[in-house]
Amino acid sequence: MSAFLIEARNLNFYYGTFEALRSINISVSQNSVTALIGPSGCGKSTLLRIMNRMCDLIPGSRVVGSLRVFGREIYDPNYDVTELRRNVGMVFQHPNPFPSTVFENIAFGIRIAGENGKENILRSVEESLSAVDLWSDLKDRLNFPGQNLSMDFQQRLCIARAIAIKPQILLMDEPCSSLDPIATQKIEELIFELKKKYTIVIVTHSMHQAARVSDFTGYLLKGDLIEFDRTESLFKRPKDTRTEEYISGKYG
């Protein structure tokens, strides 16, 4: 099996006749953080979403080429999407807790994954909240509505919910965009901790954030992956003049 958890080869994606991604080649290694950067509308979220087959229901959308996750072609007609969803978690731009309690936000997915023992569920809820550094703050408020928490706590609750089912990959689409700088720093520290256990792909508008949190960075422009390299190399020694223009602020 390949050393990469996610591998795209000559991957194209279409919304109807619009080609949103063109000939993408990217390899994501285990326990790494990969950042996807680029100007608005360049295909960052699309690339992230198709890694979890989240565009399947968009009428007229189409994938051409190869996208392997855990070594399997996820767009193969015989592929079992439930396996993918079980192993790939997603965190969105705006925190989206369910309209239920802190406890239920996390317990729900654990039950769906097949766990029904009360003790085990409680232990998993504690583990997940501890992993995002929320346990001490929320342990006495497990029956509090998740949607009434601060934005920072809501986003961390959503991360706890995503990791509660123990996925191997965590996809994050601009997870800090609705957060203030202090909460952003908290999430960035968390990403650093999480990569010990998970493989993370994060979309970010902030080049500084990409430089701070990621091991690898991909620069997308109008559906093309212009450059993909170790973060340090991409920012210090970009190979493509278009990357250089973007990171020096001349473009985008």
Considering the rule CB under 6 A, would residue 45 count as an interface residue with ligand ATP?
A: yes
Measure CA of the first residue to CA of the last residue in the chain; give whole Å: 38
With CB under 6 A, what is the number of residues at the site for ligand ATP?
12
Place of tokens 């559906």: 223
Choose, by CB under 6 A, the member of 2, 56, 58, 192 that binds ligand ATP.
58
Tell me which of ligand ATP, Mg ion, none is bound by residue 41, counting a contact when its beta carbon lies within the kind-specific cut-off of 5 to 8 angstroms.
Answer: ligand ATP
CB 138 within 8 A of CB 153: yes
What minimum distance in Å lies between the beta carbon of 92 and ligand ATP?
Answer: 11
Considering the rule CB under 5 A, would residue 46 count as an interface residue with Mg ion?
A: no
Considering the rule CB under 6 A, would residue 94 count as an interface residue with ligand ATP?
A: no
Tell me which of Mg ion, ligand ATP, none is bound by residue 40, counting a contact when its beta carbon lies within the kind-specific cut-off of 5 to 8 angstroms.
Answer: ligand ATP
Give me the sheet containing 216-221, strands edge to edge.
Answer: 72-73, 61-69, 4-15, 18-29, 224-230, 216-221, 33-37, 199-203, 169-173, 88-91
Residues 147-166 that bind ligand ATP (CB under 6 A): none
CB 228 within 8 A of CB 219: yes
| β-pair partners for 13 | 21, 63
Choose, by CB under 5 A, the member of 6, 28, 36, 45 that binds Mg ion.
45
Q: Rounded distance, CA 110 to CA 124, Å? A: 8
Our CB check for Mg ion shows the closer of 39 and 145 to be 39
What minimum distance in Å lies between the beta carbon of 71 and ligand ATP?
Answer: 25
Contacts with ligand ATP, 4-33, as mask; x by CB under 6 A: -----------x--x-x-------------
Question: Which residue type sits at 37?
Answer: I
Tokens of 143: 């029956």
Query: Would you tell me which residues interact with ligand ATP (CB under 6 A)?
Result: 15, 18, 20, 38, 40-46, 58
